[in-house]
Amino acid sequence: MEAISKHGWLTWLSDRLGLDPLIALAREKEVPIHRHTIWYYFGGMTLFLFIVQVATGVLLLLYYRPSAETAFESVQFIMTEVSFGWLVRSIHSWSANLMIAMLFVHMFSVYLLKAYRPPRELTWITGVLLFFIVLAFGFSGYLLPWNKLAFFATKVGTEIAGVVPVIGHFLLRFLRGGDEVTGGTLTRFFGFHVAILPALATFVLTVHIWLVQRHGMSVPPSVERQAQNVKTMKFFPNFLLRDAMGWLIALGALAALAALFPWELGEKADPFAPAPAGIKPEWYFLFMFQTLRLLPSHILFIEGEVLGVLAFGLGAVFWLLVPFLDKESVRGERNGLFTLIGVVILLYIAVMTVVGYLS
């Protein structure tokens, strides 16, 4: 041990754990520098917020009780009786929303910069899968405090799932654990939220991150075409230090949001009470909800809502398969069509979300 000098402990650990390949990877890994470098930070930011979610979620598990009789009261208990319970719960709620926002930014930047080109098709697919998993996290977690808004939002949300042709009724029953949203649904959503989804997320996320390390950062075609030699910086420590700066700022923002705008608990859900007016889902589902609401009751022979749900289903499949559909970008050519599609989707989501909020 007396030989331990600077970095001596690292050698000591490395000798035992076989960290050399990892250290080598960290030493070798480089991040391209160009006018779009900023977008590289959003994946890491999403990951950081995901870790915050895991940490605060595990803490909340110590006091949360997943049943219709106790869920609301236990969250109230966390907010009032447990020291720093208000902080942990508010951070969990705020961080969830920030994470989804960062995920949107990350996903659309990757799409618009065509980072899904070979050999990164699987990175894209695992990323989109993670996006769906995160939406499921949001949907299931929203119900857990068992308050009025969450109860009715879940009711409406699962009803939409019931619209899907053929399997709709099964899907609705599968989600609700019965024909109605009940205490059974709550326990079920709790299971999804803390066991099934985390297991899936861990697996897909591991693959996603491993693929990112394996293929390195993608340089956008527009940059590639302009410059032969793209400047780079070391991932460690240069890029990681910058990442850390972002994380710290995010941490400060979360603390400020939680302390100044504690997440509200609302009223306890009452399954027999009439639905309050203006039930809206969380903002990240709003564009879909608003679309379904604006659709006419019938388009040709098909019910408007069914068509809407089918369209979103197809949209999801398209989104997942983008790397195989965009042939031009694969060949390194400019493909204005896919850029246009991305911009249109982005605009559509933005407009529908705003319309949903205003209506």
Partner 1 sequence: MNTNQFQHHRRWRAGRSLAKLAATLMFVFSLIFVWSPSAEPTASGTDGSETPSGVNPAPAPALPSEPAMRTESGEKEKKDTCVQCHLEMGDELAAPVTAMQHDIHAQRGLSCADCHGGDPTEEDMDRAMDPRRGFVGRPTPGDIPRFCGKCHSNAEFMKKYNPRLRVDQEAEYFTSIHGKRLVQGDRKVATCISCHGYHGIRAVSDPQAPVYPTNVARTCGRCHANAGYLQSYAIPHDQLEKWQASVHAEALLKKNDLSAPTCNDCHGNHGAVPPGVTSVANVCGACHTRQAELFRKSPHKPAFDEMGLGECLVCHGNHEIHHPSDEMLGTGDEATCVACHSEGEPAYQAAETMRRMIDEMVQELNQAEALVDRAARAGMEVSRAKFELNDAHDKLINARVVVHTFSANELQKVIEPGLETAKKAHQMGVEALNELQFRRKGLAASLVVIFLAVMGLYLKIRQIERPGA
Partner 2 sequence: MPEVETRRRRFINFLLGTSLGATLIAITYPIIKFLVPPRVAESAASSVVAGKVSELPPNSGKIFKFGSRPGILIRTPTGEFRAFSAICTHLQCTVQYRPDLRQIWCACHNGHYDLNGRNIAGPPPRPLEKYVVNVRGDEIIVSRG
Is residue 204 a contact partner of residue 2, using CB atoms and an 8 Å limit? no
Does 74 bind partner 2 (CB under 8 A)? Our answer is: yes
Does 83 bind partner 2 (CB under 8 A)? Our answer is: yes
* Phi, psi torsion values for 233, nearest 5 degrees: -130, 160
Stretch that binds partner 1, among 66-74, 188-196, 244-252, 308-316 (CB under 8 A): 244-252
Does 241 bind partner 1 (CB under 8 A)? Our answer is: yes
Does 82 bind partner 1 (CB under 8 A)? Our answer is: no
Selected from 167, 195, 227, 245, the binder of partner 1 by CB under 8 A is: 245
Selection from partner 1, partner 2, none that 63 binds (CB < 5 to 8 A by kind) is partner 2
Selected from 27, 65, 298, 334, the binder of partner 2 by CB under 8 A is: 65
Nearest distance, CB of residue 21 and partner 1, angstroms: 24
Does 251 bind partner 1 (CB under 8 A)? Our answer is: yes
Selection from partner 2, partner 1, none that 327 binds (CB < 5 to 8 A by kind) is none
Does 27 bind partner 1 (CB under 8 A)? Our answer is: no
Nearest distance, CB of residue 167 and partner 1, angstroms: 44
Tally Cβ neighbours within 10 Å of residue 350.
11
Q: How many residues bind partner 1 (CB under 8 A)?
A: 20
Does 38 bind partner 1 (CB under 8 A)? Our answer is: no
Stretch that binds partner 2, among 24-32, 63-71, 144-152, 171-179 (CB under 8 A): 63-71
Nearest distance, CB of residue 268 and partner 2, angstroms: 9
Site for partner 2 in 210-249 (CB under 8 A): 248
3-state DSSP of the chain: CCCCCCCHHHHHHHHHHCCHHHHHHHHHCEEEECCCHHHHHHHHHHHHHHHHHHHHHHHHCCCCCCCCCCHHHHHHHHHHCCCCHHHHHHHHHHHHHHHHHHHHHHHHHHHHCCCCCCCCHHHHHHHHHHHHHHHHHHHHHHHCCCEHHHHHHHHHHHHHHCCCCCCHHHHHHHHHCCCCCCHHHHHHHHHHHHHHHHHHHHHHHHHHHHHHHHHCCCCCHHHHHHCCCCEEEEHHHHHHHHHHHHHHHHHHHHHHHHHHCCCCCCCECCCCCCCCCCCCCCHHHHHHHHHHHHCCCEECCEEHHHHHHHHHHHHHHHHHHHHHHCHHHHCCCCCHHHHHHHHHHHHHHHHHHHHHHHC
Selection from partner 1, partner 2, none that 245 binds (CB < 5 to 8 A by kind) is partner 1
Selection from partner 1, partner 2, none that 82 binds (CB < 5 to 8 A by kind) is partner 2
Stretch that binds partner 1, among 40-48, 163-171, 245-253, 321-329 (CB under 8 A): 245-253
Binding residues for partner 2, rule: CB under 8 A, are 55, 59, 62-63, 65, 69-70, 73-74, 76-78, 81-85, 87-88, 248, 251
Binding residues for partner 1, rule: CB under 8 A, are 76, 79-80, 87, 233, 237-238, 241-242, 244-245, 248-249, 251-252, 255-256, 259-260, 262
